[in-house]
Amino acid sequence: MQDQARRLMWHGVLLFFLGLLTGIMLLVLGSVWAQLRLATRTLNATFWLALYGTYANWFFTLLGAILGTKALTPQAGAGFTATRLSEIVVGTGLVTLATVMVIVCIILLVGLSGKAPASRTS
């Protein structure tokens, strides 16, 4: 019984740490924001994509744990049987958030490269 309590605490700290990493990503993005040389529309799109990606990461990971999905996270869903619809919803969410975060990183690399025109005033 004590071993299970320790394991629960270990996993709780791990999840807390992973949540911090998502928040840290937004903090880092906020700190480099002024250095980005991107058009205003691109900055606005990047802002919303980054928010979607980070919140979707939290939400779909939590939803997958609650529903016991394992198609894209086999270790997290070990021992559970989720419905096909649950697997589709969580899988689609995880794929879209991964795609969005890759796009955000590419936009950031372009914006930090100095090759993009600086067309915003603020």
pTM of the model: 0.77
For residue 105, what is the enclosing H or E element?
A: helix 84-113
Tokens 């394992």 -> residue: 70
Q: Which of 62, 64, 43 is nearest to 110 (CA)?
A: 43
Query: Running DSSP on this structure, what letter comes out for residue 2?
Result: H
Residue 1 confidence (pLDDT): 65
Residue 16 confidence (pLDDT): 78
Which amino acid appears at position 83 of this protein?
T
Sequence-distant (6+) residues with CB within 8 A of 56 are: 93, 96, 97, 100
Residue 72 confidence (pLDDT): 83
Q: What is the pLDDT along the chain (122 residues), one digit of tens a residue?
A: 677 788 778 777 877 787 777 788 888 899 999 999 999 999 999 999 999 999 999 899 889 988 989 888 777 677 778 899 999 999 999 999 999 999 999 999 999 997 645 555 55
> To 10 degrees, what angle do helices 84-113 and 40-67 make?
150
Residue 117 confidence (pLDDT): 54
Residues in the chain: 122
Domain residue spans in the chain? 25-113
What's the chain's Rg over C-alpha atoms? 18
Residue 53 confidence (pLDDT): 93
